[in-house]
Structure formats: C-alpha cells, structure tokens
Amino acid sequence: MIMGKAVIVDDSAEDDGKIVLELLSGANVLIEASGDKTEAFLISEASPDAEVVCKVGSFDFELFEEGCDYMLSSGYKVTNMFLEGCGGKYLRQGIGTAIVEFQEQMYGPVIFGEDTGTTAEDGSHLTGDGKPFAAAMLKRKNRG
C-alpha cells in the first residue's frame, strides 16, 4: 500500500501499531503509533524488529470530542509535529503523510489546528512547514 511518497513494505505488526515504510531513497522507516504519539525511526532493514539507526521524529495528538450526547464525534488533533531528526535528511519524503494516514487507520480522524499566529489553549500551533503540510493533508482528504 502506498502512503504518500512511501510504500508500506511490512505490516505484520500493524495490530501492535507498527508498520515499516520504504522511502523513494530506499531507506526504511518504522512508524509506531500509540494513540497520543506516533513516532518515526530510521531502521537498518525492512522489519518492525530491526535496529533503530536514529529517530526521525514524531507527531503528538490530543483526543477531541465534539457534539452532544446523541451525536458525539471524536478523533485526534495534531498538537506537535517534528520530523527534523536524523539531520533533517528525511523531510518531504512522505513520512508525515504516512503518520497521519496510519493514525487515522488505527485511531480515527485527524484534524489540524488553525493558523491564527498564536498558540491554542491545547498547545497546538502551526509553524514552519506545518501550515503547508496541514493544507496539503486537508486537500488530500477532500479529494479522496
């Protein structure tokens, strides 16, 4: 299965919240989801049990619930995104997209905060590449 620019090459541990991606560069990345945090690690081979070379980064999520008793919806809001680990060599290679898509697959809808120029009460805010990334993810969802 393709997730953005990356391809899932091992989903044998998906029930444990782990998948392995192969990037266009040939590098292997382990995505590990736990509900409120999803982490990405550069690994030595395409196996969920492979040796970790370095931590690429992580996304933090906060559970949200909206609506009322008879019409309640829930999901996860991104409160922090960081993928500059490993020297920043793995930016714009589909890892962020894979994190969001895997998080949604495992735990439900993902939303992003608004770009208001300030930090929201829950600590979320969009900085740097966060704003265009959030816009791109929203565009993907609307197409798809």
**Torsion angle in degrees (nearest 10) through CA of 89, 44, 15, 33:** -30
C-alpha closest to that of 2 among 77, 97, 67:
97
- Mean pLDDT across the stretch 64-70? 67
Q: What is the mean pLDDT of the chain?
A: 86
> pLDDT tens across 29-43, in order?
999 999 899 999 999
Confidence category of residue 70, pLDDT binned at 50, 70, 90? low
- Mean pLDDT across the stretch 124-141? 80
Q: What percent of the chain has pLDDT over 90?
A: 57
Indicate if the pLDDT at residue 71 is higher than 60. Answer: no
**What is the pLDDT at residue 68?**
59
**Torsion angle in degrees (nearest 10) through CA of 130, 140, 104, 20:** -80
For the chain, the domain total comes to 1
pTM of the shown model: 0.87
Confidence category of residue 45, pLDDT binned at 50, 70, 90? very high
Domain range for 63: 2-143
Helix axes 95-107, 130-143, angle to 10 degrees: 60
Compute the distance between CA of residue 132 and CA of residue 73 in angstroms, rounded to an integer.
26
